[in-house]
Structure 1
Amino acid sequence: MSVTVSQCCRCEANVVDCSNLRLTKFPQHLPASTTELRLNNNDISVLEATGVFKTLSQLKKINLSNNKISEIEDGVFEGAGSVMELHLTANHLDSVRGTMFRGMGGVRMLMLRNNRISCIHNGSFTGLTNVRLLSLYDNQLHTIMPGAFDTLPHLSTL
């Protein structure tokens, strides 16, 4: 069953707040003027490549913290080039692939703390050339490959 924004989320100005609603999927029909999308504290386990971000050219911040996300499909963030902050704290991610963030070239803050990530490979952050802050705190990291952060030329805080 699909859920639309008007059925469950709170909208104030350009912020769409769909937090704490036990959602398992992204809501449909998000307003094109959305600048911040709050989907934290839900039950989302897979981020599916549905094209939802292709109509959200004003979007600056996505909060997906405190879900059950274990998989991010390649291409899910296509069209999210204006996003500057992506919060994926406290999920179930066990790996990071460069293709999972394709389309997010503008992101400056990437919060991946408190997941289950064990290894950072070369190319894990391909295409994220504007990232300045990357949080990997409280993961299960045991291997960081040499050059793993070479694709992050503006990284200042790790």
Structure 2
Amino acid sequence: MCLDVRDITVCVGNKFIQGIPEKVDTNNTKICFMHGENSNIPKNAFILLTKIQNLYLNLTNIISISEGAFNRLGNLTVLGLHGNRITKIDQPIFLPLRRLATLDLSGNDISIIHNINFRGLRNLQTLILVHNYIRTITKNDFQSLPKLRYLDLSLNYIESIDTSTFSPLQFLETLNLNHNKISNIEDGAFNGLRRLKSLKLRGNLLQCVPTQELSRFPGLVIDVRDNRASCDEIRSEINVEKNVTILCEDK
């Protein structure tokens, strides 16, 4: 069943078949599929939807996506894969999506980012990996995403941030690491970042924050609420001349 809701078509319970999803107008530019039983997205599943710009495949029980599933979707700018059962993407399924700017993989079963093949996403600006099972991150995870500006890794199980983890992301402006298990941030963890404006570390296990390193980002807003670190100590170590804002509350 599909209904037009404002400027988007919402389809509930549809099953994808090769060539075109059932009962969908091929002229639509925004489509949301929900609550279907689609463990696999086959090759050429959307091949007739060449005009589509926003595609949401949310809560459809996807486990795997075949190579070529997104063929002919060169106009796509937003892809939502929220609330599925994806653990890995081995094949370069994103290669046809040369204009994709936003990718939402939140609420899946991803534990290792490197198991996601991001090849082809050279223009991606927003990556959402909220509420997965990610425990570690490395700089190799982001090599294919040079234009990323917003990275959301909140509500995972990350324990530490290693040196130069985010070095491939020189254009990153917002980094959300809220509500993980981070207890250690190594020196140089933010090497390579040039435009960072917002760093969210709320709800972790930090006893100290690399304040001297973070002071090199003028105008940076850092949220370290609900950690173990002393707010007074953090504020005293920040270079106030750089106009860095600290959000912190002692318990």
TM-score range, shorter chain: 0.7 to 0.9
Kindly indicate whether structure 1 or structure 2 has the higher relative contact order, using CA contacts under 8 Å at least 6 residues apart. Answer: 1
**Structure 1, residues 93-121: CA drift from partner, whole Å, max 9, x if none?**
00012332231111100000000001223
The answer as to whether partners of 1:133 and 1:156 remain within 8 angstroms in 2 is yes
Residue 120 in structure 1 maps to residue 188 in structure 2 = no
Counterpart in the other structure of 1:4: 66
Deviation of the 1:76 alpha carbon: 1.4
Residue 48 in structure 1 maps to residue 110 in structure 2 = no
Residue 142 in structure 1 maps to residue 207 in structure 2 = yes
Counterpart in the other structure of 1:61: 126
Higher gyration radius (CA): 2
Identity %: 24
The secondary structure found in structure 2 opposite 1:62 is strand
The answer as to whether partners of 1:122 and 1:146 remain within 8 angstroms in 2 is no
The answer as to whether partners of 2:64 and 2:86 remain within 8 angstroms in 1 is no
Counterpart in the other structure of 2:93: 29
The secondary structure found in structure 2 opposite 1:153 is coil
The answer as to whether partners of 1:95 and 1:119 remain within 8 angstroms in 2 is yes
Cα distance in 1 for partners of 2:209, 2:153 equals 20
The answer as to whether partners of 1:120 and 1:148 remain within 8 angstroms in 2 is no
Count of equivalent residues: 154
Deviation of the 1:46 alpha carbon: 0.7
TM-score, with normalisation over the residues of structure 1? Answer: 0.84
1:71 and 1:59, CA in 2 relative to 1: closer, same or farther beyond 3 A? same
Tell me how large the CA RMSD over aligned residues is: 2.6
Cα distance in 2 for partners of 1:6, 1:114 equals 35
Match of 2:105 among 36, 39, 42: 39
Deviation of the 1:155 alpha carbon: 4.8
TM-score, with normalisation over the residues of structure 2? Answer: 0.55
Counterpart in the other structure of 1:153: 217
Cα distance in 2 for partners of 1:154, 1:4 equals 44
Counterpart in the other structure of 2:79: 16
Aligned residue type for 1:113: N
Deviation of the 1:84 alpha carbon: 0.5
**Structure 1, residues 50-94: CA drift from partner, whole Å, max 9, x if none?**
6624x2122110000100100224311113121110000000000
Deviation of the 1:124 alpha carbon: 1.3
The secondary structure found in structure 1 opposite 2:165 is helix
Q: List runs of 5+ in structure 1 lacking aligned partners.
A: none
